[in-house]
Structure formats: C-alpha cells, structure tokens
Structure 1
C-alpha cells in the first residue's frame, strides 16, 4: 500500500506517492481534521505493511486522542505506537531547553528498538511543542533544522501537524519557517460559500511527486475520511 491509498479518494489527488524519508507539514486552522488526516494515513498504511510507526501527541492524552479517532470511524493499527507527551506540558516547563533533545532521544530509542522496520512518525503538534520551548525565532529554526535532518538520516517519513490560527480560507497561503524546512505541505482548511461550509484539502507542495494543486473536499464518512472533487 502507498501513503496515498490510505484515505478514500486521496490517490486521485496524487499521481505518485508521497516520497519515503520526506518531511511533510500538515497545516490548517482548528477543526480542519489535521490529526484525523495524519492518523488515518499512518494507521492504514502501516496496517498493510511490514513496517511500524510512532505517533507523538502533545495536544491530548492517548485515551482522548483514540476516542476522537474512533468517533470518526478510524481504527488504530497495532503497528502504530502512540507516545503520550501531553504531560510534558506540565512536567518539563522548567526544563524546556532540553525538550527537543528529549523528543529526539525518544524517537531514536524507539527506532533502535524496532529496527529498520520503523519507517514513519507523526508529531501532533508543533504548536504545542513550541509552547514548551523558550527560544527566539532564529534559535528555533536552527533547532528544527537539526531535528529534521536527524529524522531524515534515520530514514523516517515524518508528518508534522501545525495549527495556523489566522488561516481560514484558501486565499491565505501563510506558512512560517516550517514550510521552508519541509519537503511537502498538505493544507487543510474550511471554505465558506454562502451558508455552506466545506472542509477541504490541497497539496501546496510535495517534492519529487506529481500531484494536483487544486482544493478537494475532505469529509468524514462511516469508515473515516474521504476526499473527493467539489465545486468551489
């Protein structure tokens, strides 16, 4: 199975698959299904592969995260390990300078434990991680560059969830430094037309991949998410 075969209709958006070992930013405002999109993509992919992955959550506890996913018809693959870092938002407030190193060590240790069959990770979310760090923009960019290069050297396909509070429609293309560091950007948003609101997804960039750049409707079905062509 390819990454783009994990969500119904996503393979219509992509002609070729998301490249292995790349860093993909999944971005959008609150309520645009960023966590659900990333979780379903990884869980469904791993369920059909002889591979394993790590989903790190800073936003919610593991229990609350899984309840939310189950409410949308998604199932957890036993090959996707959920690492609950939500307590770090309290525990490591006074040790924020060490948190990036702690996170990196956690990932490396998991990879060493699983071996080469550990192929992908997700971090949910960068905003929650940043809230624990006491760095200016320049230092943060340097730390993120080093962190992402480490993940690339470990041959991990990485999905980073980033909430953009000011992003509300397709007319706003804003993304910060993360967009420059990432190999791909998948944008999720909410499109308003009259009294009708539709969630959408579009691929803003994906290196070494052929894909549509148009918006596609993203909806919740009985069996998880689905993507289909809409009239915007």
Structure 2
C-alpha cells in the first residue's frame, strides 16, 4: 500500500464510478485537482463525464464539463448509450457543458455556454470561473489539457499556464478532473508534457494491455495525496452503464 504523508481529514467527493471509491478511501479529496491520464481510447472522456453526470444524478452536486475536443451535442449523444440524459440536468441547472470546439472550428453554436476565445488562457480561465459560479458547481471536468496547451510554444509557457489553471481551480473551491494524454506509460511517461502530474493532488492512469490476444483495460492510482491507496493495477470495463472498476477482480 502506498501511504501518503499528508493526512486528509476532510470531506470526500464520490466519483460516481462503481468500485473506484473503494480504492481511494471513499472518494476524491474535496477541492482537489485530479489528473486522469491515458493513451487514446482508454475511456478518459467517459470517466470524467460519468463523474459530472453521477454527481448531479446521485448526489445533487452541480458540475461543469468543459469539452475542448468534442461539441457539446456530440457529448450528449455519446453519453446516451449509457442511459445518461445530460440535457435533463442541464435544464435543472445541475450540469453545464461548455462547448470549446465550435468556435475553434468556426461552426455556429446554439449552446448556452460557448467558449469564444480559446487562444487567450486568461480569458479561458475567467469564462470557466463564471460558468462554475453561475451554477454554484462543486465538480468540474476539463477534457483535455493538451487542447489548452497545444498553441503554446514551449515548456515554460505550458508550465506557467498549468500552474495558473491549478491556482484558479483551487480558488473556485471545486473538485476537478483534468484529462491528458499518456504517450508512453510503459516507458514511464504518464502525461503529455511531464508537468501535469505535479500540479495535481491525484493521478489516475487508464490503460489498455494485451492479454490472451485481446486488449484489456486497467486502472492504476499513481498518486492521491492524503490517501491510502494500492499501487496495483485493477481491471475496469466500459459497460452499458459506464465505467465500472473491479477492485476485487483479477489483477493483471
């Protein structure tokens, strides 16, 4: 077991992901920033959308989902396969989806929350702050960090932006999940820029591994400050009801 030094005695935020909270002492530490990292196709978007949706459905906690890779209407349609009616909770003011794609693509958007200026990081952060406050959000998900950082020229700029992002998130008082790419988790590189994990209180790695000539999904809690957690890999699946983790299942 990896026991971290900082004791965390505060509130836990339930993930809404069956089996996962058993691995992290009941949920994410309140008002923390957690990195969800993995290669393409590992389920990062589903993981963070489930966190926002279940927060509204099961716990009555408002949440903001910032989509920088897919249009809001595409997210809604994809999540319907799990029986999740995002629009229902949007109408109730429990979920806000920020469309950060349409304006980049030059496509007109009818969304309530549209990120017009993705070039200026300060404007981006101010806008997210306003949306969070407008629904009194307790949860926030940003999918994904590389979509914020890809226009930046060098590592120094990216580091500055990510530190600023983390400071603003902590000021908002939300529990945030941020997604990033893990280009080579087996080679030890678990985030695209090698910086993201240092601004996060926790790091959850999602990956695919070949076993018996088929790909299996596994999850590893790499870091969760103030939390006792296993350093083992646990199987998970994307089922008809979303992400399900098997904490007592086969470990491979």
Q: Using structure 1 for the length normalisation, give the TM-score.
A: 0.87
- Distance (Å, rounded) in 2 between the aligned partners of 1:105 and 1:5: 26
Q: CA deviation at 1:2?
A: 5.7
1:134 aligns with 2:155: no
**What secondary structure is seen at the aligned counterpart in 1 of 2:147?**
helix
**Residue among 79, 101, 111 paired with 2:122:** 101
- Distance (Å, rounded) in 1 between the aligned partners of 2:175 and 2:15: 16
- Distance (Å, rounded) in 2 between the aligned partners of 1:152 and 1:27: 20
Q: CA RMSD in A?
A: 2.2
- Distance (Å, rounded) in 2 between the aligned partners of 1:96 and 1:44: 28
1:80 aligns with 2:90: no
Tell me what 1:231 maps to. Answer: 251
**What secondary structure is seen at the aligned counterpart in 1 of 2:198?**
helix
- Distance (Å, rounded) in 2 between the aligned partners of 1:37 and 1:80: 16
- Distance (Å, rounded) in 2 between the aligned partners of 1:96 and 1:135: 15
Q: Is the 8 A contact 1:6 1:40 kept in 2?
A: yes
Tell me what 1:17 maps to. Answer: 27
Q: CA deviation at 1:75?
A: 4.1
1:192 aligns with 2:185: no
Q: CA deviation at 1:51?
A: 2.7
Q: CA deviation at 1:96?
A: 6.1
1:174 aligns with 2:195: no
- Distance (Å, rounded) in 2 between the aligned partners of 1:173 and 1:134: 20
**What secondary structure is seen at the aligned counterpart in 1 of 2:229?**
coil
Q: Using structure 2 for the length normalisation, give the TM-score.
A: 0.80
Tell me what 2:51 maps to. Answer: 41
Gaps of 5+ in 1: none
Cα deviation digits, residues 45-87 of structure 1 (max 9, x gap):
2223343111000101111112222224444261121111012
- Distance (Å, rounded) in 2 between the aligned partners of 1:8 and 1:49: 14
Q: CA deviation at 1:23?
A: 0.5
Gaps of 5+ in 2: 1-10, 107-116
Count of aligned positions: 223
Bigger mean CA offset, 194-203 vs 183-192: 194-203
Cα deviation digits, residues 146-193 of structure 1 (max 9, x gap):
1210110121111101022334x5x64533100111111010000112
**What secondary structure is seen at the aligned counterpart in 2 of 1:118?**
coil
